[in-house]
Amino acid sequence: MHTPLHDLVEHGQSPWVDYLSRPFVRGGELDRLAARGVSGVTSNPTIFRGAMTEGDAYDEQLREQLRRDSDPKETFLGLAVQDVRAACDELRSVFEASRTRQDGWVSLEVDPRLAHDTDGTITEAVRLSELVARPNLMVKIPGTTEGLPAIEETIARGIPVNVTLLFSLKRHRQAAEAYLRGLRRLRDSGGDLRKVASVASFFVSRVDTEADRRLRELGGHDDLLGTLAVANARLAYGTYLKVFNGPEWRDLSEDGATPQWCLWASTSMKDRSRPDVFYVEQLIGPGTVVTMPPETVEAFADHGSVADRLAEGVAGARHTLEAFAAAGVDYDDVVATLEREGVEKFTDSFRGLIDGIENKRGQLLDA
């Protein structure tokens, strides 16, 4: 059945689903969404926390893992790796058929407690890549100051990377530059640039949530409400167009490199007064990826409107940022706050996941 998700692909954008669990893969839901046009999977600690610690879908394997592992993180990895491998295998044909190499990827995040630990992140990224052992795995690394050299090193080792928790234009450019440095090092060491890829996960809805809160505190400027996130993403796309053109990039491209595609994350609409697929519709453009929670995937497949809207708004987006500055909203502080809170939220979710596994230990082994 043809859906607007298929139309996204025709416009050069890859729709991914931001969800992963054992029932989701083994129960056929991922296969169903792939038939509707979904071509990739992202995951994060919050998603795994809900999947593993609520209900009984994992209890049988959890009981076995808990008997072997005293460290709850190792227990988590034992479970997560199986799910990620299964999703990678499910999308392997999509991955191999993708002419742009933009499709068929599955993402698994490094421990978010390592977000400010460069060496720890590198070690974990290598380990996750080796544990999953699938060519269509992307390791998610936060785009923090400490994460940037880890991104470069991971790419230089030939491991695909999903740069996550990007909110600022500065960080986005730095992530692109880290990717380029990693590619050059990989090529210089004799590596195959065709075997690596990267996306820059630029978070959307959270930007409006924080910026609108500040506007309301200041009072007035209602015309700016709900406008910063899309403008921010469009300017990031402008950076993408600049960085991944020109002689330096063409040199790498000729050796098989693919650009670091913009990935629009946090695309569900929090404001119920606005269309549920607003962010997805506003950020459609070639050479991009959009990841959506299952409910947004279903909504877009049902009533999404597809047209190239991304590049046409780049010029006006700069004026939007200037208008926020004139209104008294400090853009740099907004995005710094969001990065800090994003790391904290994922860290809290990971700790909750570990605590939930420990609670399951008592329930399952004492039963």
Do 341 and 334 meet the contact criterion of CB atoms below 8 Å apart?
no
pLDDT at 28 over 60: yes
| Residues paired with 292 in a beta bridge | 17
pLDDT of residue 31: 96
The pLDDT tens digits of the residues spanning 320-331 come to: 999 999 999 999
Do 324 and 211 meet the contact criterion of CB atoms below 8 Å apart?
yes
pLDDT at 24 over 80: yes
Q: How far from 245 is each of 98, 238, 260, 349, CA to CA, in Å?
A: 21, 11, 12, 38
The pLDDT tens digits of the residues spanning 279-312 come to: 999 999 999 999 999 999 999 999 999 999 998 7
Name the percent of the chain lying above pLDDT 90. 83
pLDDT at 225 over 80: yes
pLDDT of residue 366: 66
Domain 4-365 class in CATH: alpha beta
The model's pTM is 0.96
Instruction: Report the distance separating Cα 302 and Cα 96, nearest Å.
Output: 28
* In the chain, alpha helices (H): 4-10, 22-26, 29-36, 45-53, 59-68, 72-90, 92-97, 118-132, 147-156, 169-188, 205-218, 228-243, 247-254, 278-282, 294-303, 314-327, 331-365
Instruction: Report the distance separating Cα 232 and Cα 311, nearest Å.
Output: 12
φ/ψ of residue 220, rounded to 5: 80, -170
Sign (positive or negative) of CA dihedral 73, 74, 79, 83: positive
The letter for the amino acid at 85 is R
Sign (positive or negative) of CA dihedral 250, 256, 259, 260: negative
HSE-up (13 A, CA, CB side) for residue 167: 25
pLDDT of residue 70: 81
- Residue positions annotated with a catalytic role: 140
Domain ranges of the chain: 4-365
The letter for the amino acid at 183 is L
In this structure, of 28-42, 43-57, 137-151, 264-278, the range with the lowest mean pLDDT score is 43-57
Report the 10 Å Cβ neighbour count for 123. Answer: 14
